[in-house]
């Protein structure tokens, strides 16, 4: 699938990529994992008229979204992702947000894009009580605007940069604080039924996103500009999993594998498994074994 020759700089997004064997392996691992997720979860849905699907790839300026854009661009470049990509950044008006960084970067890289300004930050500050985190309301407002933009741009999918670790952490957040077994699915349909929400980095480790974006020297924008990040429950869950990983290396891989290997018959949800309808097989209805033959 991927060669080790001089075609590494196949797109401006990869110009200046390190030439080390370690980086080559990292890049291939990320792109292969993204392709695996796209194929496994059927993310590319051809249009009825035969035209190419159009994806709105959401770019926050964090390490994960840069990695997402690079991986999808490489797959597209190699003819392995038959979709049109439109990168989108939603400037939500957080104090200190460097508004020129992403437009300049995307223009320089030749990536089709749309930059949208919506001051949702003021709304969040007004609505959220003092001392509470802004994240939940901020996320809902952001998602609503991204859905609107996707519709305006003729996209059928909103593509997000959530990775494997986000999915694991969300599972524990729902378990501990929501009382349900659920996480971020790699593919879902929005409530209105007109847009897919896709997570092509579902199989990619956060550490790989971090190493990749930093090695490429992408202009990272911090996600804590609003000052509402300290003490989040998610940070506590992350610290818990970090502790497990330190004590038992590979624990994250096991946790993620468990999310792909669910057995409804061994859970307790009667909506998923008909416990009441279970019945026994009477002994006399079982096939009779042939009588023993004397030696």
pLDDT score at 5: 47
Collapsed DSSP state (helix, strand, coil) of residue 294: coil
Residue 294 makes CB contacts below 8 A (sequence gap 6+) with none
Average pLDDT score, the chain: 89
- Place 286 in a pLDDT band, splitting at 50, 70 and 90: low
pLDDT score at 6: 47
- Place 287 in a pLDDT band, splitting at 50, 70 and 90: low
Residue 256 near residue 167 (C-beta atoms within 8 A): yes
pLDDT at position 8 over 70: no
Mean pLDDT of 163-167: 96
pLDDT score at 15: 84
Residue 156 near residue 196 (C-beta atoms within 8 A): yes
pLDDT at position 227 over 60: no
Q: What percent of the chain has pLDDT over 90?
A: 71
pLDDT score at 127: 74
Mean pLDDT of 119-145: 79
Nearest to 93 by CA among 158, 138, 38: 138
The token pair at 195 is 């847009």
d(CA 41, CA 231): 34
Mean pLDDT of 60-64: 94
Count how many Cα atoms sit within 13 Å of the Cα of residue 204 in the half-sphere of its side chain: 35
Nearest to 58 by CA among 80, 91, 97: 91
- Place 224 in a pLDDT band, splitting at 50, 70 and 90: low
- Place 275 in a pLDDT band, splitting at 50, 70 and 90: very high
pLDDT at position 80 over 90: yes
pLDDT in tens, 39-55: 999 999 988 898 999 99
Count each helix (H run) and each strand (E run) in the chain, helices first. Answer: 9, 6
In the chain, what are the domain boundaries? 19-266
Mean pLDDT of 206-227: 87
The token pair at 146 is 């991204």
CB atoms within 10 A of CB 162: 23
pLDDT score at 133: 72
Q: Maximum Cα–Cα distance for the chain, whole Å?
A: 90
pLDDT at position 195 over 60: yes
**Strand residues in 94-225 grouped as ranges (E):** 113-117, 157-159, 187-189, 196-198
* Locus of tokens 């401006």: 12
Q: What is the 3-state secondary structure (H, E, C) of 8-76?
A: HCCCHHHCCCCCCHHHHHHHHHHHHHHHHHHHHCCCCCCCCCCCCCEEEEECCCCHHHHHHHHHHHHHH
The CATH architecture one would assign to domain 19-266 is: 3-Layer(aba) Sandwich (3.40)
């Amino acid at each position: 699938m991927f060669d080790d020759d001089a075609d590494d700089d196949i797109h401006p997004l990869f110009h200046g990529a390190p030439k080390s064997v370690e980086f080559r392996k990292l890049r291939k691992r990320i792109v292969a994992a993204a392709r695996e997720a796209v194929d496994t979860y059927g993310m590319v849905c051809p249009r009825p008229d035969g035209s190419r699907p159009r994806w709105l790839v959401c770019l926050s300026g964090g390490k994960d979204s840069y990695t997402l854009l690079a991986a999808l661009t490489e797959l597209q470049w190699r003819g392995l992702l038959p979709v049109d990509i439109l990168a989108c950044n939603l400037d939500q008006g957080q104090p200190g947000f460097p508004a020129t960084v992403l437009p300049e970067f995307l223009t320089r890289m030749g990536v089709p894009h749309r930059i949208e300004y919506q001051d949702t930050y003021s709304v969040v500050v007004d609505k959220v009580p003092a001392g509470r985190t802004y994240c939940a309301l901020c996320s809902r407002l952001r998602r609503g605007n991204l859905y609107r933009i996707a519709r305006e741009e003729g996209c059928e999918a909103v593509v997000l940069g959530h990775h494997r670790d986000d999915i694991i952490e969300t599972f524990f957040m729902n378990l501990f604080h929501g009382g349900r077994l659920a996480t971020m699915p790699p593919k879902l349909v929005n409530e209105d039924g007109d847009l897919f929400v896709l997570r092509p980095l579902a199989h990619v480790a956060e550490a790989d996103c971090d190493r990749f974006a930093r090695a490429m020297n992408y202009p990272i924008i911090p996600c804590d500009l609003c000052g509402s990040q300290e003490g989040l429950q998610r940070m506590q869950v992350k610290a818990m999993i970090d502790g497990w990983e330190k004590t038992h290396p590979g624990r994250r891989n096991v946790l993620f594998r468990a999310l792909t290997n669910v057995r409804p018959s061994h859970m307790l949800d009667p909506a998923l498994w008909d416990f009441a309808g279970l019945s026994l097989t009477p002994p006399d209805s079982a096939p009779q074994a042939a009588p023993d033959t004397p030696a």
